[in-house]
């Protein structure tokens, strides 16, 4: 089993979520009691959040590269960046160290293609660069995203209510957008780029499949790690030149 290097943040509990998703795949392949081969570096969100807010991708790349160097030194054979907002800098950080990079959006595309879907909405993106990365990763799929005003409102709402239940008014606004996508855009599924959204909106409420991008990213990363043992590698890995 290959060793995965995860970069995440304790603040948003991403490493825990990814460890659960990755190990669920390992248990399915090898049985309970087996665990994934992981090394993890946790980054302080207080350090990265201003860089994302300013869209300073060079500075964020430099910060993620420092983490990637630690993971590479610890034997990581591929990089998994556990935050959608960091994806614009993730591939560059991996490339700098000649590490394979398991891309979140491309991992999600592999999952969606397995359902036979061709049109999805992505909810929870914060920046234009992040959206471009998702559109690139979801290659050959039609992608619907919120208009700028709704995107900014949702990002603000997520920051304010991260540790509390969603207010009824805010829930109604999110559900109205999802309903419009289903009825007017013929969207077949909703991709939640932020895990908190998956806790706020269920498949039953959305009346269509709801995909937690972080969980899927972890599952696909696990499949890559065990590919040499049991199955072909998923087609969503970017190898450094």
Specify whether the CB–CB gap between 39 and 71 falls below 8 A.
yes
pLDDT of residue 75: 95
Query: How confident is the model at residue 11, as a pLDDT?
Result: 65
**Residues forming a β-bridge with 122:** 191
Please list the pLDDT of the chain residue by residue as tens digits (241 residues): 899 999 998 766 677 889 999 999 999 989 988 999 999 999 988 899 999 999 999 999 999 999 999 999 999 999 999 999 999 999 889 888 888 999 999 999 999 999 999 999 999 999 999 999 999 999 889 999 999 899 999 988 888 776 677 888 998 999 999 999 999 899 999 999 988 888 888 888 899 999 999 999 999 999 999 985 544 444 444 444 3
Per residue, the 3-state secondary structure of 198-221, as one string, reads: HHHCCHHHHCCCEEEHHHHHHHHH
CA distance 14 to 67: 15
Strands (E), the chain: 4-8, 38-42, 78-81, 101-102, 119-123, 142-144, 189-192, 210-212, 237-238
Q: What domains can you pick out in the chain, each with its CATH number?
A: 4-104+215-238 (3.40.50.1860), 105-213 (3.40.50.1860)
CA dihedral 180, 161, 201, 52 (to 10 degrees): 70
- Work out whether the CA dihedral 128, 237, 23, 46 comes out positive or negative: negative
pTM to 2 decimals? 0.90
């Amino acid at each position: 089993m290959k060793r995965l290097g995860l970069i995440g943040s304790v603040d948003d509990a991403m490493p825990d979520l990814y460890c659960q998703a990755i190990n669920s795949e390992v248990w399915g392949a090898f049985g309970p009691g087996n665990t994934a081969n992981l090394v993890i570096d946790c980054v302080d969100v207080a350090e990265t959040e201003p860089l994302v807010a300013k869209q300073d991708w060079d500075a964020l790349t430099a910060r993620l590269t420092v983490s990637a160097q630690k993971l590479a030194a610890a034997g990581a054979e591929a990089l998994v960046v556990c935050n959608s907002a960091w994806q614009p800098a993730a591939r560059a950080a991996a490339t700098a160290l000649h590490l394979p990079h398991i891309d979140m959006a491309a991992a999600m595309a592999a999952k969606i293609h397995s359902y036979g879907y061709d049109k999805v909405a992505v909810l929870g993106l914060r920046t234009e660069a992040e959206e471009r990365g998702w559109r690139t990763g979801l290659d050959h799929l039609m992608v619907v995203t919120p208009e700028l005003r709704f995107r900014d409102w949702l990002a603000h709402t997520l920051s304010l209510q991260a540790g509390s239940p969603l207010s009824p008014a805010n829930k109604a606004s999110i559900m109205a957008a999802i309903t419009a996508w289903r009825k007017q855009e013929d969207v077949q599924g909703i991709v939640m780029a932020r895990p908190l959204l998956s806790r706020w909106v269920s498949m039953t409420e959305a009346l269509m499949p709801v995909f937690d991008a972080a969980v899927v990213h972890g599952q696909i990363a696990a499949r890559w790690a065990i590919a040499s043992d049991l199955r072909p590698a998923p087609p969503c890995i970017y190898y450094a030149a």
